[in-house]
Homo-oligomer: A and B are copies of this chain.
Amino acid sequence: MFESAELGHEIDRKTFQKEVPALRAALLDVQYDLLEKREFPIVILVSGVDGSGKSETINLLYSWMDPRHISTLAFAEPTDEERERPFMWRYWRALPAKGKIGIFAGSWYSQPIADRIQKKMKRAEMEETLDEINRFEAMLVNEGALVLKFWFHLSREGQKTRLKAMEKDPRTAWRVTKASWDRLKTYDDLQAVAGHVLRVTNTAHAPWTIIEGTDDNYRSLTVGHIVRDTIRKHLAQTTRGSVPVAPPIVPAIDKRSVLTELDLSQKIDKKSYEKELAKWQGKLSQLMRDPRFQKNHSLIVAFEGSDAAGKGGSIRRIVAPMDARQYQIIPVAAPTDEERAQPYLWRFWRHIPRKGRAAIFDRTWYGRVLVERVEGFCSEADWLRAYAEINDFEHGLVESGAIVIKFWLQISKEEQLRRFKERENRVQTLQDH
């Protein structure tokens, strides 16, 4: 698949210089449009072989556009804060807000490709990872993002020539390291793995563009044109988020559901309750201090249920035996404006705890398929796709060692009314103090 990027594309200096002014003006134009509307972010992935002009292209985009609204994230070694959280956490935290352009120099593709070349990852794992990536990108696109994926290619000979040329030039010599030459040895492996990765992740919603990296002018103009045209097109579209979603697997045409079938009359007497509570709180306290928990796990507890179902009280009893320094309770209310400028799940990702810590969510990411769905705060397509996105989110958590526990607290309509009245009286009593 890389053959078509070894055709020796070239653009002469004169043509290049003639084209650039209009291109720059147009790029600035679309960028300001993007910024003014603040409707969606641009995610640009820059990947490919060493010496193919990746960083040159990024720097060029900065000089052609307004660099104040572009950010570039390089993902070298993860920091310890990143290492103790799910693989995708560092990418979530780096996502550009609506109206902004985020360039990923290295991305969610880098680690899997490197691991596969070094045979640290099995074929089946790789397939699973690529599936997850496809779903992650579909989510971004459905959230309105424009995802542009560039792969910069060089033939083996081309790479050798470029590395030599870079080594000769004092301005670029520092960038050619032993690792660069080492990677030339694994050229064929990279081609094989990358070829497969690009094929599998070349989706309709987030397609790849392979750029021949040999000629600077050709490479620059091509990227410039694509960035200009795709943003322009995206700005002109009135509907965004186009990845179709499958309907729920289990149809429900009667009114029966897991909830209607619940036995709400279950009871426990006060004495047993207190005895059992103390026993289980003690166990929880011990487990939270277990060195294996501290080292390998985090705890995520999610509470959902109607108002007055007892979420607050349950949370109080769960955290009672914990050390306050170990947990965080996240009351989920209306999103802040920074949260609104990001994909829906971003506001939950930001609270994912480190190893040895717990996060207890009072209302959760299920809000999308509950209150938002019921109140019409989001479109049908949005809540429909949320089921799969939530599965992916929780899968990522569990994969990273998190223990994810979800509670739905159910009460009857009558009981809810009784509790509302009780609360009303309590507030009255407080105010009378």
Secondary structure of the A contact surface, majority rule? helix
Contact A73 B315 (CB under 8 A): no
Contact B55 A433 (CB under 8 A): no
Give per-residue flags for A209-241: 1 if the beta carbon is below 8 A from chain B beta carbons, else 0: 000000000000000000000000000000000
Closest chain B residue, CB of each to CB of A58: B324
- Flag whether A72 is at the interface (Cβ < 8 A): yes
Which of B29, B62, B70, B323 has a CB less than 8 Å from the CB of A55? B323
Within 8 A of B (CB), among A19-50: 22, 25-26, 28-29
Closest chain B residue, CB of each to CB of A57: B324
Chain B: minimal CB distance from A147 (Å): 19
Give per-residue flags for A79-115: 1 if the beta carbon is below 8 A from chain B beta carbons, else 0: 1110000000000000000000001010000000000
- Flag whether A69 is at the interface (Cβ < 8 A): yes
- Flag whether A133 is at the interface (Cβ < 8 A): no
Closest chain B residue, CB of each to CB of A324: B72
Q: Which residues of chain B are near A329, meaning CB under 8 Å?
A: 67-68, 70-71
Contact B325 A72 (CB under 8 A): yes
Number of interface residues of A (CB under 8 A): 48
How far is it, in angstroms, between the C-alpha of A26 and the C-alpha of B174 when the chains are bound? 65
- Flag whether A285 is at the interface (Cβ < 8 A): yes
Contact B312 A68 (CB under 8 A): yes
Chain B: minimal CB distance from A349 (Å): 15
Contact B103 A324 (CB under 8 A): yes
- Flag whether A167 is at the interface (Cβ < 8 A): no
Closest chain B residue, CB of each to CB of A339: B338
Which of B63, B103, B316, B325 has a CB less than 8 Å from the CB of A316? B63
Which of B62, B79, B319 has a CB less than 8 Å from the CB of A80? B79
- Flag whether A124 is at the interface (Cβ < 8 A): no
- Flag whether A120 is at the interface (Cβ < 8 A): no
Chain B: minimal CB distance from A93 (Å): 11
- Flag whether A331 is at the interface (Cβ < 8 A): yes
Contact A315 B430 (CB under 8 A): no
Contact A325 B105 (CB under 8 A): yes
- Flag whether A328 is at the interface (Cβ < 8 A): yes
Decide: A328 near B71, CB < 8 A? Known: A66-B312, A323-B55. Answer: yes
Q: Which residues of chain B are near A143, meaning CB under 8 Å?
A: none
How far is it, in angstroms, between the C-alpha of A429 and the C-alpha of B25 when the chains are bound? 10
Closest chain B residue, CB of each to CB of A74: B325
Give per-residue flags for A332-357: 1 if the beta carbon is below 8 A from chain B beta carbons, else 0: 00001110000000000000000000
Closest chain B residue, CB of each to CB of A69: B331
- Flag whether A425 is at the interface (Cβ < 8 A): no
Contact A315 B433 (CB under 8 A): no
- Flag whether A122 is at the interface (Cβ < 8 A): no
- Mark A residues whose CB is within 8 Å of B: 22, 25-26, 28-29, 55, 58-59, 62-63, 66-74, 79-81, 103, 105, 171, 174, 282, 285, 289, 312, 315-316, 319-320, 323-325, 328-331, 336-338, 362, 429-430, 433
* 20 pairs, A vs B, C-beta closer than 8 Å: A22-B433, A25-B430, A55-B324, A59-B320, A62-B320, A62-B324, A63-B316, A67-B329, A68-B331, A69-B331, A70-B329, A72-B324, A73-B325, A74-B325, A79-B80, A80-B80, A81-B81, A171-B285, A337-B337, A337-B338
